[in-house]
Amino acid sequence: MSITLENKTRTFTKNEAGDFVSYVEKALSLLLSMDYIDPLIREGDAEISVDIRLVGSDAIRKLNLQYREKDKVTDVLSFPILDMNDGKLQSKLMPYDFSYIEGKKYLPVGDVVICPERARKQALEYGHSMEREMVFLAVHSLLHLMGFDHENGKDEELMFSKQEEIMTEIGLPRSSDVALLNIESSEDEHPVGEVLSHCGYCALVGRPNVGKSTLLNTISGMKLAIVSHKPQTTRNNIQAIYNKDDAQVIFVDTPGIHRPQSKLAEFMVDSSFRAAKGADVIVLMADGRFPKPANVEMRAAEMAIKLKKPIILAVNKADAVTKESLLPLIANYSKIADFVDIVPISALKDDGVDELMDVIISKLPSAPRYFPIEEVTDQSEREISAELIREQILHYTNEEIPHGTAVEIDAFEEELKDDAEDSYDRSLIKIHASIICERDSHKSILLGKNGQMIKRIGTAARENIEKMTDCKVFLDLHVKVRKDWKNRQVFLDEFGYKKKEE
Ligand code: GDP
Ligand code: MG
Q: What DSSP string describes 31-51?
A: HHHSTTS-GGGG-TTPEEEEE
Q: Which atom of ligand 1 is nearest to the CA of 320?
A: 26
Our answer on whether the CB atom of 405 is closer than 6 Å to any ligand 1 atom is no
Dist. CA 104 → ligand 1 center (Å): 36
Q: What is the β-pairing status of strands 84-85 and 88-89?
A: antiparallel
Q: Which atom of ligand 1 is nearest to the CA of 285?
A: 3
Our answer on whether the CB atom of 239 is closer than 6 Å to any ligand 1 atom is no
Q: Which DSSP helix (H) or strand (E) runs through 47?
A: strand 47-54
Our answer on whether the CB atom of 288 is closer than 6 Å to any ligand 1 atom is no
Our answer on whether the CB atom of 213 is closer than 6 Å to any ligand 1 atom is yes
The sign one gets for the Cα dihedral 191, 377, 217, 4 is positive
Q: Which atom of ligand 1 is nearest to the CA of 345?
A: 23
Rounded to two decimals, the pTM is 0.47
Pick left, alpha or beta for residue 488 (phi over 0 → left; psi -120 to 50 → alpha; otherwise beta). Answer: left
Dist. CA 211 → ligand 2 center (Å): 7
Closest CA to 407 of 465, 368, 357, 349: 465
Residues found in the chain: 502
Dist. CA 208 → ligand 1 center (Å): 9
Ligand 1 atom 6: residue of nearest CA: 211
Dist. CA 266 → ligand 1 center (Å): 27
Our mutation pick for probing the ligand 1 site, out of 214, 316, 326, counting the most ligand atoms within 8 A of Cβ, is: 214
| DSSP designation for 73 | -
Q: Near ion ligand 2, which residues have CB within 5 Å? A: 213
Our answer on whether the CB atom of 316 is closer than 6 Å to any ligand 1 atom is yes
Our mutation pick for probing the ligand 1 site, out of 204, 205, 207, 209, counting the most ligand atoms within 8 A of Cβ, is: 209
Our answer on whether the CB atom of 208 is closer than 6 Å to any ligand 1 atom is yes
Dist. CA 210 → ligand 1 center (Å): 6
pLDDT in tens, the chain (502 residues): 888 888 777 667 666 777 898 999 999 999 999 999 999 988 878 899 999 988 888 788 888 887 777 778 889 999 888 889 999 999 888 888 888 888 888 999 999 999 988 888 888 777 778 888 999 999 999 999 999 988 777 888 888 889 989 999 998 887 544 333 333 333 445 566 678 899 998 988 888 788 887 888 788 653 222 223 332 222 335 667 787 778 888 887 665 454 444 333 344 455 566 667 778 999 999 999 999 998 878 888 988 898 899 999 999 999 999 999 999 999 999 999 999 999 999 998 889 999 999 999 999 999 887 776 554 444 567 777 887 888 788 788 876 676 567 888 888 888 888 876 655 678 899 999 999 887 888 899 999 999 999 999 999 999 988 876 778 999 999 998 876 554 444 444 443 333 333 3
Write out the E strands in 157-299. 195-196, 198-205, 238-244, 247-253, 281-287
* End-to-end Cα spacing for the chain: 45
Ligand 1 atom 24: residue of nearest CA: 317
Measured between alpha carbons, how far is 86 from 358 in angstroms, rounded to an integer?
48
Q: Which ligand neighbours the alpha carbon of 228 most closely?
A: 2
| DSSP designation for 434 | E
Q: Give me the amino acid identity at 144.
A: H
Dist. CA 216 → ligand 2 center (Å): 9
- The b-or-e profile of 453-489 (16+ CB within 10 A means b, else e) is bbeebbebbbebbeebbebebebebebbbbeebeebb
Dist. CA 464 → ligand 2 center (Å): 26
Q: Which DSSP helix (H) or strand (E) runs through 301?
A: helix 295-307
Our answer on whether the CB atom of 262 is closer than 6 Å to any ligand 1 atom is no
